[in-house]
């Protein structure tokens, strides 16, 4: 009996829950939006549309420094201070980075958590709540980590 390419079995279909499709779409389109924000804000910085906090010509003198030395040299404190510097071209691109980093938490809060609560799936509800808490706590810097 020879293998015939025309006698293939039909592809099996898989039922994917609606919340999974929505979460995947959030990550897909959200990622592209975040990348667009990164590109636009980087262009604003490079072309001087928004003035930089640190003159780009001065940057080479900081390249060899440890991060703590750099922060001291330029008068920054780290952590969430970047939020106060969004008017500077070299910090405005942090918006895209923060958005991309937050997509998972956004999806968990607006899509996955309500879906698992509605399904009365207590195990997955607890897992999602735990993941949200861990990610938010890590990003907050409360434990001395994250939020750099």
Residue at 44 is within a domain: yes
Judge whether residue 8 has pLDDT over 80. no
Residue at 11 is within a domain: no
Report the chain's terminal Cα–Cα distance, integer Å: 65
Residue at 145 is within a domain: no
Residue at 10 is within a domain: no
Block residue for tokens 């079995």: 9
Residue-wise pLDDT for 20-68, tens only, equals 999 999 999 999 999 999 999 999 999 999 999 998 889 899 999 998 9
Residue at 41 is within a domain: yes
Judge whether residue 125 has pLDDT over 60. yes
Q: How far is 126 from 108, CA to CA, in rounded Å?
A: 12
Burial class (CB in 10 A: 0-12, 13-18, 19+), 102: middle
Residue at 73 is within a domain: yes
The confidence band for 110, taking pLDDT boundaries of 50, 70 and 90, is very high
Instruction: Report residue 35 CA to chain centroid gap.
Output: 10
Asked if 117 and 125 touch (Cβ cutoff 8 Å), the reply is yes
Judge whether residue 147 has pLDDT over 60. no
DSSP classification of residue 137:
H
Residue at 63 is within a domain: yes
SS3 1: coil
Residues in CB range of 122: below 8 A, 6 or more apart: none
Q: What is the largest CA-CA distance in the chain?
A: 78
Taking the whole predicted model, whether its pTM rises above 0.95 is answered as no
State the total domains in the chain. Answer: 1
Residue at 5 is within a domain: no
80 to 4, 34, 57, 139: CA distances (angstroms): 62, 19, 25, 10
Give pLDDT, residue 5: 65
Give pLDDT, residue 24: 97
Q: Which of 59-73, 97-111, 116-130, 131-145 has the lowest mean pLDDT?
A: 131-145
The confidence band for 138, taking pLDDT boundaries of 50, 70 and 90, is confident
Give pLDDT, residue 129: 98
Full residue range of the structural domain in which residue 31 is found? 18-140
3-class secondary structure for 6-24? Answer: HHCCCCCCCCCCHHHHHHH
Give pLDDT, residue 1: 52
């Amino acid at each position: 009996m020879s293998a015939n390419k025309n006698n293939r079995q039909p592809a099996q279909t898989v039922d994917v829950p609606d919340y999974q499709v929505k979460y995947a779409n959030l990550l897909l389109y959200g990622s592209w939006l975040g990348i667009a924000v990164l590109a636009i804000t980087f262009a604003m910085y490079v072309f001087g549309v928004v003035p930089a906090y640190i003159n780009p010509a001065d940057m080479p003198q900081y390249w060899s420094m440890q991060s703590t030395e750099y922060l001291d040299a330029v008068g920054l404190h780290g952590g969430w201070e970047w939020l106060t510097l969004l008017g500077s071209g070299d910090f405005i691109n942090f918006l895209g980075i923060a958005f991309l980093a937050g997509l998972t938490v956004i999806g968990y809060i607006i899509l996955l958590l309500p879906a698992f609560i509605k399904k009365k799936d207590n195990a997955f509800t607890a897992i999602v709540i735990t993941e949200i808490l861990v990610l938010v706590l890590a990003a907050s810097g409360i434990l001395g980590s994250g939020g750099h």
